[in-house]
Structure 1
Amino acid sequence: MNNGKEDSAVLHAILEAAVDAIVVSDQLGKILRANPAAAELFQYDLAEMIGQSVNMLMPRAMADMHDRFMSHHIETGEKHIIGIGREVEGQRKDRSVFPLHLSVGHSEVGGQPIFIAILHDLTLRKATEDALARSQRLDAIGQMTGGIAHDFNNLLTVIVGNLELLEMRGADARQLPLIKDALESAELGSDLTSRLMIFASKSHLKPEKTDLRQVCLEALALVRRTMGPTFDIKTDFPDNLDSVMVDLVHLKSALMNLVLNARDAMAEGGKLLLSLQNVTIDDTYMAQETDIEAGDYVRLSVSDNGGGMSPEAQRRAFEPFFTTKPKSDGAGLGLAMVYGFVRQSGGHVTLYSELGLGTSFGLYFPALAREAGHGAAEIPSTLPRGNRQSILIVEDNPKVRKLSIERIRDLGYSIIAANSGDQAYQILKDGAKVDLVFSDVVMPGTLNGYDLAAKIALEFPKLKVLLTSGYASDVIKTGLAHEKRHKILHKPYRQSELAERLQALFAARSAD
């Protein structure tokens, strides 16, 4: 008897402690048991899952296939999914679909068959694979483009040389205009190939020690004369900024490309913000979010509150000849040149955008060794930790939501997650025990981050709110109606910044 109780206790402990989701079902697919990891993964309470069909955890098409597979296995003993790990899709309570690795085992209890499913969330892995695929695709396009540009330059050399020989050898008055037009076209072709070489990271850079503040001010002096009075241009430059080694000609060209793109995105006028900041990539989370190697960087951000970019446009933004503008308005090489130049400079480019709310490009350049007194604050050896307080994470991007859950859980907090402001508000209205809300600002649905914070201040006044965004505050707040001014934790942020902000909010709450 004691052995039975011990075995039951051990089994319970295994289910409770397991990191991956575990779901036990009978031959009809009814859920007999599930562990807390499964409830968290699928965003259900355990009580909501027990006794229900496992089909509730799958998209419709997958549920139909599952029923056929299970019936076939019971009738024939053939294993299509039993004992075989495979990648499938799961469906959360909010109907969002995400990638899973599923392993199903078969056993018997009291003569009745049971099936044990072990499920591992592949969201982060898939996102990493997608990012790697994009990077590899751009690298492949760059190599191909560099080769084509090199060969095309050889052809242009022959064409230009022969045209100049014809011009020098006594072309008549009728021929000279034709030769001149041909030479001008050849020069345009040469300019095109030089821009392609920049994307391919094969241009000849002449880097020099640079203070990016001065470069930005010089560029803005030109921009202000061309943009007109309907554009509000602001800057946010710190007093102490690290120097970088960068080619000034290419940098100014990249900056003008981004600024003019922002102008085009704000047809009726709007806000443009140029900001500079020392950034230290010093933990796994931030490196994962930005796809940048650890180190010190200077980030140049160009943000607008224009029409924004669709997901497809963001995915292809840096490809040569891809453009959302009419064909007569550009060749689609501007962002490709920016990408190639920054990568060749040892840096990286990030892009945040949302339709109707604007776009923010971040250019990261490796910082030169900091002089005494100009470095970033020392990273504390031990980060401030929570005491299992409950934090409601509100984020519509699955990859960022998953990352935020891991970051905050690692700091010692318990987690509830929502994929929109509307869902988060409903969770609070339903009486969930929450100590703090950590919300993105820009989200689909009725409630953006500011709206959610306003409702919380009105209906749950003791509940603290921390907002985060990948956009510049001075740009996005004009597009999102709100009254109260909030301090924004800007993406990408360091784990130490997140830990300190959360600790400060909980300390302030204790003092209230």
Structure 2
Amino acid sequence: MRRRGGIWQGQPGGTSAMVDTATDSAILHAIMEAAVDAMIVSDQSGTILRANAAAARMFQFDTDEMVGQSVNMLMPQALARLHDGFMAHHVETGEKRIIGIGRDVEGQRKDGSIFPLHLSVGHSQVGGTRIFIGILHDLTNRKATEDALARSQRLDAIGALTGGIAHDFNNLLTVIVGNLELLEMRGADDRQLPLIKDALETAEMGADLTTRLMVFARQSNLKPVKSDLRELCSNTLALLKRTIGATYHIKTDFAEELDPVMVDPVQLQSALMNLALNARDAMGAGGELLVSVANVTIDDTYMAQETDIEPGDYVRLSVSDNGAGMNLEAQRRAFEPFFTTKAESGGTGLGLAMVYGFVRQSGGHVTLYSELGMGTSFGLYFPAVEHEPSRNWAEGDAKDRPAPPTGNGETILIVEDNARVRKLSLERIRDLGFETLEAETADQAYEMLQNGVQVDVVFSDLVMPGALNGYDLATKIVREFPAIKVLLTSGYASDVVTGALSHDVPFDILHKPYRQSELARRLQALLAGVSDG
């Protein structure tokens, strides 16, 4: 028996060829279906001959929808227009651009969303026909990680530069202040004294500026002490309530049980003042500000991904407002020194930079969540100091805790406009044993339901672009699809920023970031309600 063209063949007239051909086909099918990465086989014209399950999931198609269609359906329009020319050029000249090399490109899913992927293409001859085999790997998570790392490195680089400038500037100010004081002491006359006084006050303002820059650069001398954030926040808010203005309502939500943290009380109060005054400016003539403090345990991979924080026990200080919100560019650059959206009103751009530097120097992390027109929420995470008695629900290692409840194949529609968060939510819910569908907006989700898509639960973000927000979608579902349960989620700390969206029907909100076990419990509670009728 010999092998020819990739198929084992026996003697003419025998049955070995048929048996071995079937075996080879079964092995090939098993390999493709077991592959973690997407695999697509096409002919030289670009027609898809075969696609595995991973490819179908990646592009949101059924495999039957892909086979027989052009691979151009999986590309953004600009790339699709060039693809046929690339293929023809390769077939004619043999020049390799992607074939046998691989490169990072962009793919397009069934819903039209664009995502980064790595494509490696090989080719072969089967029965005289040239075929191409593409192996694709979704780079969405890697790209998000790289962006976060680049942002952190940029801030670190700016901090290092800023720290050096501030150090030299302090030396200059020392000389200036010293000479001014000598002039004052050596008998300056009445005409000279006011000038010296103004110069000294200005030099002191410069010294204060460099102090704040040093905090951002993490080169300041913090004096951390074991502190209760509730007490520090209460003292600061007592001052704020007298200075922020009567048109701004300050609410607090302090947990009854709270771990102590090691922070510099002066810097903590300064950071809270900065955030509160920024919120006041964003709210215009009036609004609501919420300051909340609670223990947070980051003990699963998903929550660590979402917050970009190392697993562990933290105390989170959240400051949320219902002001104008921030666009994506402002969010990206919010913590850079001297970046400000309030230059015309005298903003220095150092407030958030100082907050960032202080929290990072304290071993913590800062998160920012904002939507234009809906407000902003900052989360300051400080490592908790262990004390007795420890929290019962956090005792033991994560591996010793009971696994979260899982689903039984029910279908959940995930509605989220942020592509990274949507992908993360899909992974979380699939890991809990549920089937998933996805929509980028509430408008799209409502259209899917109207077209007869069958789901058990709709899991929707609260604030989204389009005609409908999460509350609107939930209200329509309750009225038009009463068999479907709804779970809303939001990155805001409370109803301070969501009160404007509220409807007659109350909905519980799962606040981001949330633990996998908490998500599992909420979904199980909803589905238990379904089974109970």
The answer on whether the counterparts of 1:25 and 1:31 sit within 8 Å (CA) in structure 2 is yes
457-466 vs 278-287, greater mean Cα deviation: 457-466
The answer on whether the counterparts of 1:263 and 1:269 sit within 8 Å (CA) in structure 2 is yes
Aligned partner of 1:311 among 328, 331, 335:
328
Q: Does 1:110 align with 2:127?
A: yes
Measured after TM superposition, the shift of residue 481 of structure 1 is 4.1
The unaligned stretches of length 5 or more in structure 2 are: 1-17
361-370 vs 62-71, greater mean Cα deviation: 62-71
The answer on whether the counterparts of 2:374 and 2:498 sit within 8 Å (CA) in structure 1 is no
Aligned partner of 1:410 among 418, 421, 431:
431
The answer on whether the counterparts of 2:341 and 2:347 sit within 8 Å (CA) in structure 1 is no
Q: Does 1:198 align with 2:235?
A: no
CA 1:375–1:167 in structure 2 vs 1: closer, same or farther (change >3 Å)? Answer: farther
The amino acid of 2:405's aligned partner reads P
The amino acid of 1:508's aligned partner reads G
194-203 vs 91-100, greater mean Cα deviation: 91-100
DSSP 3-state at the match of 1:300:
strand
1:279-290 matched pairs, under 5 angstroms = 279-290=296-307
Deviations 1:237-294 (A, max 9, x none): 1111111111111111100100011010010311211111100011111111111111
Aligned partner of 1:67 among 84, 97, 107:
84
The answer on whether the counterparts of 1:22 and 1:37 sit within 8 Å (CA) in structure 2 is yes
Aligned partner of 1:50 among 67, 76, 79:
67
CA distance in 1 between counterparts of 2:505 and 2:53 reads: 38
Match of 1:351 in 2: 368
482-491 vs 375-384, greater mean Cα deviation: 375-384
CA 1:409–1:370 in structure 2 vs 1: closer, same or farther (change >3 Å)? Answer: farther
Match of 2:246 in 1: 229
Q: Does 1:387 align with 2:408?
A: yes
Match of 2:141 in 1: 124
Measured after TM superposition, the shift of residue 377 of structure 1 is 4.2
Q: Does 1:444 align with 2:465?
A: yes
The unaligned stretches of length 5 or more in structure 1 are: none
CA 1:509–1:314 in structure 2 vs 1: closer, same or farther (change >3 Å)? Answer: same
DSSP 3-state at the match of 2:105:
strand
CA 1:24–1:483 in structure 2 vs 1: closer, same or farther (change >3 Å)? Answer: farther
CA distance in 2 between counterparts of 1:109 and 1:482 reads: 62
DSSP 3-state at the match of 2:107:
strand
The amino acid of 1:143's aligned partner reads A
Measured after TM superposition, the shift of residue 348 of structure 1 is 0.5
Deviations 1:96-138 (A, max 9, x none): 2110000111123332222111111101100000000000111
The answer on whether the counterparts of 1:90 and 1:98 sit within 8 Å (CA) in structure 2 is yes
Measured after TM superposition, the shift of residue 397 of structure 1 is 0.8
Match of 2:116 in 1: 99
Measured after TM superposition, the shift of residue 455 of structure 1 is 1.7
Match of 1:493 in 2: 514
Measured after TM superposition, the shift of residue 479 of structure 1 is 2.8
Q: Does 1:361 align with 2:378?
A: yes
> TM-score scaled to structure 2, two decimals?
0.93
Measured after TM superposition, the shift of residue 203 of structure 1 is 1.2
The amino acid of 1:322's aligned partner reads F
Q: Does 1:467 align with 2:488?
A: yes
Match of 1:81 in 2: 98
> TM-score scaled to structure 1, two decimals?
0.96
DSSP 3-state at the match of 1:473:
coil
Aligned partner of 1:182 among 199, 207, 226:
199
Measured after TM superposition, the shift of residue 9 of structure 1 is 2.3
The amino acid of 1:441's aligned partner reads L
The amino acid of 1:423's aligned partner reads Q
Match of 1:219 in 2: 236
CA distance in 1 between counterparts of 2:107 and 2:178 reads: 63
Measured after TM superposition, the shift of residue 145 of structure 1 is 0.8
Measured after TM superposition, the shift of residue 307 of structure 1 is 0.5
Measured after TM superposition, the shift of residue 18 of structure 1 is 2.4
Match of 1:2 in 2: 19
The amino acid of 1:53's aligned partner reads S
CA 1:19–1:432 in structure 2 vs 1: closer, same or farther (change >3 Å)? Answer: farther
CA distance in 1 between counterparts of 2:345 and 2:509 reads: 40
Measured after TM superposition, the shift of residue 425 of structure 1 is 1.9
DSSP 3-state at the match of 1:232:
strand
The answer on whether the counterparts of 1:101 and 1:120 sit within 8 Å (CA) in structure 2 is yes
The amino acid of 1:275's aligned partner reads S
Match of 2:501 in 1: 480
CA distance in 1 between counterparts of 2:258 and 2:152 reads: 29
CA distance in 1 between counterparts of 2:499 and 2:456 reads: 29
Deviations 1:203-254 (A, max 9, x none): 1111112111122222222222233333232111111111111111111110
The answer on whether the counterparts of 2:297 and 2:394 sit within 8 Å (CA) in structure 1 is no
The answer on whether the counterparts of 2:318 and 2:377 sit within 8 Å (CA) in structure 1 is yes
DSSP 3-state at the match of 1:138:
helix
66-75 vs 433-442, greater mean Cα deviation: 433-442
429-438 vs 287-296, greater mean Cα deviation: 429-438
CA distance in 1 between counterparts of 2:359 and 2:198 reads: 34
Aligned partner of 1:210 among 227, 236, 251:
227
The amino acid of 1:392's aligned partner reads L
DSSP 3-state at the match of 1:479:
helix
Q: Does 1:145 align with 2:166?
A: no
CA distance in 2 between counterparts of 1:26 and 1:421 reads: 39
108-117 vs 253-262, greater mean Cα deviation: 108-117
Q: Does 1:154 align with 2:171?
A: yes
DSSP 3-state at the match of 1:301:
strand
CA distance in 2 between counterparts of 1:324 and 1:433 reads: 45
112-121 vs 431-440, greater mean Cα deviation: 431-440
Match of 2:290 in 1: 273
The amino acid of 2:250's aligned partner reads I
The answer on whether the counterparts of 2:289 and 2:320 sit within 8 Å (CA) in structure 1 is yes
Q: Does 1:427 align with 2:444?
A: no
Q: Does 1:300 align with 2:327?
A: no
Measured after TM superposition, the shift of residue 328 of structure 1 is 4.2
Could you say which structure has the larger radius of gyration?
2
204-213 vs 194-203, greater mean Cα deviation: 204-213
Measured after TM superposition, the shift of residue 312 of structure 1 is 0.2
Deviations 1:144-172 (A, max 9, x none): 11111111101110111111111111222
The amino acid of 1:32's aligned partner reads L
CA distance in 2 between counterparts of 1:454 and 1:16 reads: 41
CA distance in 1 between counterparts of 2:365 and 2:98 reads: 42
The answer on whether the counterparts of 1:273 and 1:474 sit within 8 Å (CA) in structure 2 is no
DSSP 3-state at the match of 1:351:
strand
82-91 vs 401-410, greater mean Cα deviation: 401-410
CA distance in 1 between counterparts of 2:293 and 2:190 reads: 56
The answer on whether the counterparts of 2:320 and 2:492 sit within 8 Å (CA) in structure 1 is yes
Measured after TM superposition, the shift of residue 439 of structure 1 is 1.3
Deviations 1:422-450 (A, max 9, x none): 22222222323322221111111122111
The amino acid of 2:307's aligned partner reads T
The answer on whether the counterparts of 1:69 and 1:81 sit within 8 Å (CA) in structure 2 is no
